Amino acid sequence: MDIGLMVEGQNDLTWDRWVHIYQFAERLHFPSLFRSDHYFIGSQRESLDTFTSLAVAARETTGIRLGPLVSPTTFRSPVELARIAVSLDLLSEGRFVLGIGAGWHQPEHDAYGFRFPEVSDRANRFVEGVEVVRTLWNEGPSNFAGRFFQLSNVDMRPKPKPGRPWLLIGGSGPMRTLPTAAKHADEWNCVNTSLASYAERAEQMNVCCELIQRDPVTIKRSMMTFGLVGPDEKSVARAAEIASHTIGRGLDGKGLLAAAGARGLIHGTKDQVIEQIGKLAELGISEIEFQHMDFYNDEIPEFLAQEIAPAVKML
């Protein structure tokens, strides 16, 4: 089991803080550092463009894998995503991960004028978008005739190296997301999923793989969590209070902690966190990306790197 970080860049992330974060992430030997791809969630605050920030980090780090977790196909054309991914993969020498999802947060779509279709249309657009990305990464010239996207005699260059970039698909919808991940993904990622729900979705993923004769173990499985964790109870309470402003849904820090288990949130101090991660490892998850939400305090990342990561490495 590996422990990674995910940064919500729309929540007052500045260049000074981003540089600090990717430098300490590499110094603490985190294997992964991901970025959200949002304009805002809640109030509109300072933020950094996702792919610009990832390009800088790719140039100035050497060992950590980087990418969006995840970029919605409602914001950008899959052609743009495919080209950006190859550029960043080459810049990072194979460390870039293209995370793609269907999109979910309507207020930012409405505010910035992005069309926000009904669920079925978003899902179908996402499926086509993933197919377009894979098509463009293949040897050209390429053609694609879909409902949402079309390609005509395209030979996108530069071409990626074999097996790259790494494609991560986020989400757990059983009708479209899981079959698409089974067909195309190098990695499948879920967010804040309870053990029972994840076990059900994991079995559905296995069935999707079997239907196309793909070995399920060839897909890396990961989970992103709003971790309510820390070295002591005070730190845990502080992490929960900070998280409540983003994901509380009317709950304060105490209320969020009380509901953490039911909502699939990893929570508690060292022994509790290790126990919860162990149960996820038994279900086949090999990496957990913890939200780093307090950009001006390194306590939680240091706790994860020094206390948690070594203890769960062999799970």
Quick: pLDDT tens for 226-236.
999 999 999 99
pLDDT reported for residue 217: 97
With 80 as the cut, is the pLDDT of residue 192 above it? yes
Bigger pLDDT: 88 vs 250: 88
Long-range contacts from 45-51, C-beta under 8 angstroms, 24+ separation? 45/10, 45/11, 45/12, 46/12, 46/13, 46/14, 47/9, 47/10, 47/11, 47/12, 47/13, 48/9, 48/13, 48/14, 48/15, 48/18, 50/9, 51/84, 51/88
With 90 as the cut, is the pLDDT of residue 94 above it? yes
The alpha carbons of the chain give a radius of gyration, in whole angstroms, of 19
3-class SS at 222? strand
Q: Percentage of residues in the chain with pLDDT exceeding 90?
A: 92
The residue type found at 76 is R
Answering whether pTM is above 0.85, one says: yes
DSSP code at position 161:
P
The C-alpha torsion from 179 through 124 and 108 to 259, rounded to 10°, is -30
Bigger pLDDT: 2 vs 139: 2
What tens digit of pLDDT does each residue of 104-162 get?
A: 999 999 999 999 999 999 999 999 999 999 999 998 899 999 999 999 999 999 999 99
pLDDT reported for residue 42: 86
Separation of alpha carbons 160 and 179, rounded Å: 24
CATH of the domain at 86: 3.20.20.30
The residue-averaged pLDDT of 245-263 equals: 88
With 80 as the cut, is the pLDDT of residue 248 above it? no
234-238, 259-263, 295-299: lowest mean pLDDT where?
A: 259-263
The residue-averaged pLDDT of 206-224 equals: 98
Q: How sure is the predictor about 82, in pLDDT bands with cuts at 50, 70 and 90?
A: very high
How many domains does the chain divide into?
A: 1
Contact of 214 with 182, CB cutoff 8 Å: yes
The residue-averaged pLDDT of 245-268 equals: 89
Q: How sure is the predictor about 241, in pLDDT bands with cuts at 50, 70 and 90?
A: very high
Enclosing domain of residue 213: 2-312
Q: How sure is the predictor about 246, in pLDDT bands with cuts at 50, 70 and 90?
A: confident
What tens digit of pLDDT does each residue of 7-65 get?
A: 999 999 999 999 999 999 999 999 999 999 999 998 899 999 999 999 999 999 999 99
pLDDT reported for residue 69: 97
Separation of alpha carbons 123 and 177, rounded Å: 7
Bigger pLDDT: 187 vs 159: 187
Backbone angles phi, psi at 267, to 5 degrees: -150, 155
